[in-house]
Amino acid sequence: MDPVLVIQSLISGVMMGMVYALLGVGFSLTWGVMHVIHISHAVFGLLGAYFAYTLLTLYGVDPVVSAMVSTPLLFIVACAVYQVLIRPLTKAREMVVASMILTFGLAIILENLLVLVWKADPRLLTPSYASESWIIGPFYLQYPHLIGFALSLVGISSLYVFLKKTTTGMAVRAAWQNQEAARLYGVNLFRISMITFALAVSTAGAGGISLALLYSFEPHSHNLWLIYLFLVVIVGGVGNVIGTALAGLIIGVITGLSMAFLPYQWVNLITFGLLMVFLIFRPHGLFGEVG
């Protein structure tokens, strides 16, 4: 086996996996903290991608700058979505099921809005460095992969630091671990849930931009992205930020190695076979807690 092929496959696999992790980390949070399985999460990622596409094609704005702009914008949008749609769900008897149905409907509405505004044509995010590489010996580090990887690292680290070091972040974690106890300590669960949801959606925007640097996208692409979200979240453990990041890396490594060693048609079989194995034998994921 050619070591260059193996290492090159590993490099691009890891970078790709990390980008999925950025998109997945918010999905994991809303699921873990709020018990909301946010089916329209990836559509917000697409919104980020279309936002970056529009700024790039109209004004030449770099996607990294767009990611920085879209994050606070999506935070505000998500606060409104939470107040109008998600908050009333807390009265539902089956929060998880109700949230899935509601956000599935939201995904369809948003997808159709994307078609209305940007049409159904496939798009590419092509900044000047879209097909450039940093060449180190025999290895090519593609700039879009590198930038997507860097964005993901920054996004996931920021979220991790926020959850670990800030009072609000600690309240989010407390709410996740034991809602009743958190409420007794004076944590405003609605406020915490809104912040969690908004954080999740804003990271989805950045994740969507990172993915758009790698792949073409169109209004229905969120369905495909959603499959990868479930993959990283279930492997990493629901609600676990670092777990999701590591799951992204692991999936990237597995994909890379599969591509190097096996026929390509096996790659998806192996990746999604992994998902089934986890669902059967370790449904709480590699880094999640039982129960």
Residues engaged in binding other proteins (CB under 8 A): 2, 4-5, 8-9, 12-13, 16, 112, 115, 119-124, 126, 130-133, 140, 142-144, 214-216, 218-220, 224, 255-256, 259-260, 263-265, 267-269, 271
Q: Give the Cα separation of 189 and 195 in Å (integer).
A: 10
C-beta of 29: minimal distance to other proteins in Å?
A: 25
Euclidean distance between the first and the last CA atom of the chain, given in angstroms as a whole number: 43
C-beta of 220: minimal distance to other proteins in Å?
A: 5
Q: Which residues contact 158 (CB under 8 A, 6 or more apart)?
A: none
| Closer CB to other proteins, 131 or 166, in the complex | 131
The closest alpha carbon to 228, from 273, 198, 272, 284, belongs to: 272
Helix, coil or strand: residue 229: helix
Q: Which residues contact 237 (CB under 8 A, 6 or more apart)?
A: 28, 243, 244, 247, 284, 285, 286, 287, 288, 289
How many CB atoms are located within 10 Å of the residue 174 CB?
Answer: 18
| Closer CB to other proteins, 121 or 180, in the complex | 121
| Closer CB to other proteins, 190 or 266, in the complex | 266
* Residues pairing with 133 in the sheet: 142
Q: Give the Cα separation of 210 and 204 in Å (integer).
A: 10
- The dihedral sign for the CA sequence 60, 64, 68, 73: positive
C-beta of 7: minimal distance to other proteins in Å?
A: 10
| Closer CB to other proteins, 67 or 259, in the complex | 259
C-beta of 145: minimal distance to other proteins in Å?
A: 8
| Closer CB to other proteins, 126 or 168, in the complex | 126
C-beta of 115: minimal distance to other proteins in Å?
A: 7
| Closer CB to other proteins, 119 or 191, in the complex | 119
How many degrees, rounded to 5, is the angle at CA 219 between CA 77 and CA 222? 75
| Closer CB to other proteins, 152 or 271, in the complex | 271
C-beta of 119: minimal distance to other proteins in Å?
A: 7
Spell 104-114 as b/e; 16+ CB within 10 A means b. Answer: eebbeebbeeb
C-beta of 214: minimal distance to other proteins in Å?
A: 8
- The dihedral sign for the CA sequence 279, 280, 286, 291: positive
